[in-house]
Amino acid sequence: MWGEFTEKLCERFRERSMSDIIEEFNKLRQVGDLKTYLKRFEELRSLMSSQDPHLFEAYFMSSFLSGLSDDLRPMVKIIRPRTTGSGEC
């Protein structure tokens, strides 16, 4: 039990390089529910934006859409969302 706790703690707070974050962001795919995907996407997006505030919204939109499940992606593209943030489409 203690070993599992320390492993999870180290995993959560270990130092990660920007290249690790970029790689994870670029490989992010929805494999479960949308809420879990969206939460992880926003976490990684925040890290990416903090390192490079010049990244365009179009980059994040494209990344978000490409990571959606094959079933959901076409339905979301139909509504032509303009931002990945909460609020209007």
Domain ranges of the chain: 15-78
At 45 the pLDDT is: 94
Task: Compute the distance between CA of residue 46 and CA of residue 42 in angstroms, rounded to an integer.
Answer: 6
76 near 68, Cβ under 8 Å? yes
What stretches in the chain show pLDDT beneath 70? Answer: 6, 8-16, 83-89
Task: Compute the distance between CA of residue 59 and CA of residue 48 in angstroms, rounded to an integer.
Answer: 11
At 88 the pLDDT is: 43
Q: What three-state secondary structure class fits 81?
A: coil
At 20 the pLDDT is: 86
At 34 the pLDDT is: 94
28 near 37, Cβ under 8 Å? yes
